[in-house]
């Protein structure tokens, strides 16, 4: 596949606009030691030896969703699913969508086509075997779909996925395609496969992050809400929001040797995140990615 054909197709095949009143809330299910910010000081070979906090954090996240009567989409690592199958089963039992975050958090742009296809195919199989439900969606670790690896879309379609949420149309030092579409689109010719970007706000001639992650944790709640309200009012499109279970865990172990930038990004406002999420969950009508976007396709 010619990557340029994907770029040209972005403006040609926007997706149908889903039901207006619903927004998608998503969770990237990974542990605190699996984040890219710590890759230079924590090797994958050491993951199994570290004290996991994913069970307790996911239990709390699922409780928050249940209290707010919200269903969402959980992009889950196969590494987590294999070691904590009860987490996967709890996601499904709670009425949420189970989706894929790949096998072990390898960036999509660090793999070849065949390596990536094997990675996402294996993750899909693991999640489906444990859960007993079809896995339709995928999110690349660290939004690592860049201009250079747009073939990711074709690989995901070949692996049987129906949609991806792997692009973030902002400028960032680790990811982002600022000129990419801001809302759901069909990247492949003659295929209904969807790419659903995380929400961004168009302001002063550039795109600003407005769909969660570290920005939501670092910035005042009111500022984040104004940005999301603006997207809803100006663009008349659903929000796509994301966060991680470790972001509500202020008691997680501190990783030694990480850079100052990584520590600031990872640890700032952990103690405030749960209260901010509680406010967010009751501020909008939230739902699952598959029910919002695939039903409209």
Residues forming a β-bridge with 194: 163
The residue count of the chain comes to 297
Tell me the domain boundaries of the chain: 3-294
**pLDDT mean over 11-19:** 67
User: What is the pLDDT averaged over residues 204-228?
Assistant: 92
Closest to 273 (Cα-Cα) out of 245, 248, 242 = 248
Please state the φ and ψ torsions of residue 229, each to the nearest 5 degrees: -60, -35
Rounded to the nearest 5 degrees, what angle is found at the Cα of 249, between the Cα atoms of 260 and 41?
A: 35
| pLDDT per residue as tens digits for the range 125-157 | 999 999 999 999 999 999 999 888 989 999 999
CA distance 9 to 79: 34
Average confidence (pLDDT) over 10-27: 76
55-59, 84-88, 161-165, 186-190: lowest mean pLDDT where? 186-190
CATH topology of domain 3-294: TIM Barrel (3.20.20)
Kindly give the residue spans of alpha helices, DSSP state H, lying in 69-164: 78-83, 85-93, 113-131, 152-158
- Cα Rg for the chain, rounded, in angstroms? 18
For 80-111, what is each residue's pLDDT tens digit?
999 999 999 999 999 999 999 999 999 999 99
């Amino acid at each position: 596949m010619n990557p340029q054909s994907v770029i040209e197709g972005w403006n040609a095949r926007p997706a149908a606009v889903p039901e207006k009143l619903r927004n998608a809330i998503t969770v990237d299910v990974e542990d605190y030691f699996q984040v890219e910010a710590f890759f230079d000081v924590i090797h994958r070979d050491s993951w199994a030896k570290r004290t996991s906090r994913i069970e307790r954090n996911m239990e709390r996240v699922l409780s928050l969703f249940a209290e707010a009567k919200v269903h969402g989409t959980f992009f889950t690592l196969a590494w987590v699913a294999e070691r904590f199958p009860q987490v996967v089963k709890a996601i499904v039992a709670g009425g949420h969508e189970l989706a894929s975050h790949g096998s072990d958090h390898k960036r999509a742009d660090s793999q070849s086509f065949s390596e990536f296809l094997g990675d996402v195919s294996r993750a899909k199989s693991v999640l489906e075997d444990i859960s007993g439900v079809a896995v339709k969606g995928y999110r690349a670790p660290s939004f690592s779909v860049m201009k250079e690896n747009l073939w990711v879309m074709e690989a995901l379609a070949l692996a049987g996925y129906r949609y991806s949420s792997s692009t973030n149309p902002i400028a960032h030092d680790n990811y982002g395609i600022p000129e990419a579409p801001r809302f759901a689109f069909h990247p492949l010719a003659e295929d209904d496969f969807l790419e659903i970007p995380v929400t961004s706000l168009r302001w002063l001639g550039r795109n600003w992050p407005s769909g969660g992650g570290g920005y939501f944790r670092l910035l005042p709640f009111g500022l984040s809400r104004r940005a999301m309200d603006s997207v809803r009012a100006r663009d008349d499109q659903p929000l796509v929001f994301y966060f991680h279970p470790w972001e509500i865990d202020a008691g997680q172990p501190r990783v030694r040797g990480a850079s100052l930038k990584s520590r600031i990004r990872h640890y700032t406002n952990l103690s405030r995140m749960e209260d901010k999420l509680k406010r967010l969950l009751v501020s909008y009508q939230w739902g699952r990615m598959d029910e919002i976007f695939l039903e409209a396709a």
